[in-house]
Amino acid sequence: MTYSLSFLPEVANDAITGYDWYEDRSTGLGNDFLRLLYANSNEIPRDPLLYPIVFKNFRRRLLRRFPYAIYFRIEERNVVVFGLPRSPQYNAQGDIGTHPTPLIPAAHSSPLLSTAKSLIVNT
C-alpha cells in the first residue's frame, strides 16, 4: 500500500535552517541537502513500516551524507513528517553542538529552496 505524504509547517523551517547552514559552508551544498531531503522523504510513503519506531508511534529515516533525520508518524493512509532535527551522533567534526541553529533569513536566492519550501507549505 502506498501512503500519501504531508509535512507539518515547522519542517519548512528545519529544511531552511539546514539549507542555510550548508550553503554558508560551500555554494551548492545547501541544494544537495535539499535534494537528498526530498528524495528521502519521497521514499518513505512507499514502505513506511520499513523504518524503525524510535519513540511511541514516531519513526525515523536517517539521511545519508547529512546528519539529519526525518521523523514521521503513520496516520491511517498518510505519512506525516513532524520534524527534521539534526542528529548529533553524526557530527562530521566529532563535536556535538558545532552546528548552530541560525536565524532564518527572510529571502533566499535558490530556486530549489523556493520550490522545496512551497512543496512543504502546500502539502
Given a cut of 90, is residue 121 above it in pLDDT? no
- What's the mean pLDDT in 77-100? 62
pTM over 0.75: no
Residue type, 115: T
Q: Where are the domains of the chain?
A: 4-90+109-121
Given a cut of 60, is residue 23 above it in pLDDT? yes
Homologous superfamily of domain range 4-90+109-121: RelE-like (3.30.2310.20)
- Summarize pLDDT for 30-70 with one digit per residue, the tens: 999 999 999 999 999 999 999 999 999 999 999 888 888 99
Name residue, grid cell 508518524.
73
